[in-house]
Amino acid sequence: MDIETIRSICNTLHSVTEDIKWGNDLCFSIGGKMFCVVPLDTPLKVSLKVTDEEFGILTDQQGIIPAPYAARNKWILIENANLFDPEKWKYFISQSYHLVRARVPKGKLIKL
């Protein structure tokens, strides 16, 4: 997995914006709320939101930890990008998008 593939997956989702925050993090958002964060340094790491049920299961795996500053909201940090195949990446990124999008007020969603 590489950053361009992550970018490609994120940008297939409706009304996604991307920007750099904190000088070093590529952030993908829906309605101004982040759903995927990729630090620009190497090796590739990715933070995203998961379900309550998945949070405990995933953070028990080696290479995945509770995301610093966001774990209370069920965000994980995937430290080893090779843990998932491309289909799993699509699943988790899309799920994060939908979990975050569900909490965005309708007026904040970009109409395309």
Residue range 25-32: mean pLDDT, rounded:
96
Q: What is the mean pLDDT of residues 34-62?
A: 95
pLDDT higher than 60, residue 30? yes
Paired tokens of 15 = 């009304």
pTM for the full predicted model: 0.92
Check pLDDT > 90 for residue 106: no
CATH number of the 3-108 domain: 3.90.1150.30
- Sorted by where each begins, the domain ranges of the chain are 3-108
Residues in CB range of 76: below 8 A, 6 or more apart? 47, 48, 50, 55, 58, 59, 64, 65, 66, 67
Mean pLDDT of 91-107: 93
**Average pLDDT of the residues in 56-67:** 96
The rounded distance, in Å, linking the Cα atoms of 32 and 90 is 21
